[in-house]
Amino acid sequence: MDARGARGENWTIVTKTSSFTAPKGVPDYLPPGSAEFVAVRDGLIHAARLAGYGHVELPVFEQTALFARGVGESTDVVSKEMWTFADRNGESFTLRPEGTAGVMRAVIQHGLDKSGQLPVKLCYAGPFFRYERPQAGRYRQLQQVGIEAIGIDDPALDAEVIAIADAGFRALGLDGFRLEITSLGDETCRPQYRELLQEFLRALPLDEETQRRAEINPLRVLDDKRPEVRALTANAPLMIDHLSESAKAHFDEVLAHLDALGVAYVVNPRMVRGLDYYTKTTFEFVHDQLGAQSGIGGGGRYDGLMAELGGQPLSGIGFGIGVDRTVLALAAEGKSAADPARCQVYGVALGDEAKAKLVAVAGELRAAGISVDLAYGGRGMKGAMKGADRSGARYTLVLGDRDLAENTIGVKEMASGEQRSVPLDAVVTVLSEELGR
């Protein structure tokens, strides 16, 4: 049936309670699998924090013009994949498809670029939205971790950003990936290369839409995945072969810093990222065990983006890493970054008086930084111990009437099965020591 809201809008109320499902292409992460998601996200963020990147929390939607100007109207992201809507005043907003434009908007709006502390180093994590054809590793709500270093054009900073991503992957245990890198040049050589590439493309029998794209942004044609277009552009001139002396020197220095950091890479002259703002250093991390969705993260330098969005003419570099795809990459390698244990200590009470005391003990243990779960619902000893096994806890506490009378509590080490009695008033200290708290 229809109902009318307080502001006069209409909506439909669905009365069939069993009909609700998640939107198509939007994955749920639930226990125990969500532990892997959290471990990957937090592990990637930790690598950034070690390099001094501060957290930034961004709006999930922004003015549509921000992405049209920042990402580029010729990109598939803007022209085909954005979730765009009008508010009640008719202003156009878009669910964020990527993070860099929003970060740059925030830096300009809040004057971080004028603080005198450059580069501005920021990291973020959260959902982003693209109207994709859903498949494994390609979702309409995708989860990413990103970093941005804004305000300084230094090849050493480029290498730092890349090394953070590499270190993040390796800290998770991932090793079946490769780093592909290239340079897309700068204002000293891109205009000349653009003319050269357009001249080459105009001589090809391209379809009308691709011809139009070649006039707006010819580099995008080299990123076309269709086999027939790839065949036609196989001999296209490449930016890396037409770098100016300054752009080449910048790229060579980035590679030298990566060598010094021990970060392995492969130069891929044909690589073109899917966003228009990239200049100079551009890179992607690829995992071949993921099939068509092999890119697990990437980024690059964006020299003109801040000025394009109304700020100072400052440079920046960053990356976005797919949390979803990194989870899939770990699974493809048969690895896990998550601790399978739901808690460190599991409590079993035998009787109401024992439960009241064990609830208090659990609170003290949690205050000491120890994760604790309890057997709720009055389950018997057998059922409660099954819960302890499933929790993955290292220790199980058992408290009954006799224990209360003796002011002790049973502590069972789950791996060995050994059980001992510990004074109730000492159990927090004993477990804190044994768990390294």
Write out the binding residues. Answer: 98-100, 130, 144, 148, 273, 277-278
Quote the CA–CA distance of 67 and 25 in Å, as a whole number. Answer: 22
Secondary structure of residue 285 in the 3-state scheme: strand
Half-sphere exposure of 50 toward its Cβ, with a 13 Å CA cutoff?
A: 14
Quote the CA–CA distance of 130 and 141 in Å, as a whole number. Answer: 7
* Burial class of residue 132 in the structure, from the number of CB atoms within 10 Å of its CB (0-12 exposed, 13-18 middle, 19+ buried): middle
Quote the CA–CA distance of 309 and 66 in Å, as a whole number. Answer: 7
- State the pairing for strand pair 316-322/141-150: antiparallel
DSSP 219: H
How many other C-beta atoms are found inside a 10 Å radius of the C-beta of residue 336? 16
331-334 contact pairs (CB < 8 A, 24+): 332/176, 332/287, 332/289, 332/290, 333/173, 333/174, 333/175, 333/176, 333/289
Secondary structure of residue 235 in the 3-state scheme: coil
Buried b (16+ CB within 10 A) or exposed e, 8-44: eeeeeeeeeeeeeeeeebebeeeeeeebbbebbbebb
Quote the CA–CA distance of 365 and 429 in Å, as a whole number. Answer: 9
User: 177 and 333 in contact (C-beta within 8 Å)?
Assistant: no
Q: Which pair of tokens denotes residue 411?
A: 């502590």
- State the pairing for strand pair 266-267/178-183: parallel
Secondary structure of residue 316 in the 3-state scheme: strand
Quote the CA–CA distance of 229 and 227 in Å, as a whole number. Answer: 6
Residues forming the annotated binding site for L-histidine? 98-100, 130, 144, 148, 273, 277-278
Peptide bond into 269 cis (omega under 30): no
